[in-house]
Structure 1
Amino acid sequence: MRRLTLTGLLLTAVFSQTAFPVGNGSSQVLAAATRFLDQFVGQQAAEGYEITYELGNLDSRLRLADCAGGPSVGFSGDPWRSMHPRLMISCEGDRPWKIFLASAVEIRGEAFIAARPLGRGDRLRKEMINRSQVVVNSVRRDAIKDLENLVGMEISRPISAGTVFTPDLVSAPDAVSRGDHVIITARTGNFSVKSRGKALGNGRVGEQVRIENLSSSRTVRARIVGPGHVEVVM
């Protein structure tokens, strides 16, 4: 197995199916794969990530035709969602071939984590959130990178301290709750009129909820446009 860590190298390249002019036949495979991953390491280092990788061994019995110009290399899986993405290495030409090579890739970077255990329905505040170095691609879902996308959100299920925040762990809180008094805006064309109402259910922005108009006692379905505000289009 080959192991390499690079953190400060800045290279620019297109990684998907990039061709590298190295070696001949089977000897080209590991060289091309190594150069491909070195460039991936360099690009992500420029973005603040530290990457360690290992390449699998080739079967010593493998015999491949020489590849003029070198083989092409690309990830066959998403390295940001798996610590074991395979590399697809292929050669075009008169005697084309394609093989898959195992790899282990660890991507470390900063992410937001829970500062303490949190329960379902907890509303996130800044003091509940820490920023820490984590293995980003061990999370298997994109870590939330913007603090503004966390503060004020609700926890969807109980989590322990140190858990990386991902989109499936948080949801927008209800903008209207059953029994809340709300402002109803009724629109028709460019004309609108406002009245007061009472919510008969819970809902988030963009959802519809039943509202009792306190002036007419009529019940209407209205779309929630913000906390305490709903809209009816006539």
Structure 2
Amino acid sequence: MRCAGERPWTVYLQAKVAVQATYYIAARQIAPGEPLSAADLVARDGDLTVMPLAVITDPAQAIGSTALARISAGLPLRQDMLKSAASVSAGQTVRVVAAGPGFTISAEGSVLANAAPGQSVRVRMAAGQIVTAIVKDAGTVEIPL
């Protein structure tokens, strides 16, 4: 804290930063190669600064993915524990959507790499420009505005 008045002074304070958010844990033991469904996830609220990196904060990041190794019940789920099933493949034609308040624009484009729902992917549009979009499903990507 600092005062720049007639008689300036500075006081240093220690602070603890916490990021409270919802994250997901395994509802049961999950075997390697087993696909995850919504029933396999349990939401918990907590401080993300004390959680492992890449902890799952959106169920869409885990649903449909398969476990790379055995995951114990109650363990916080991390992106590096899961393998996403690709829903778009390089060269595939997809519908590219951009939406905002009161409008939706869509066009076709060609995906440049394999990607799963929720992942970023580059798409070549018909005019040749390349945009980055988020995979929504097997045939749709969305440009975040």
Q: TM-score, normalised by structure 2?
A: 0.49
Structure of higher CA gyration radius: 1
**Higher share in helix:** 1
Q: TM-score, normalised by structure 1?
A: 0.32
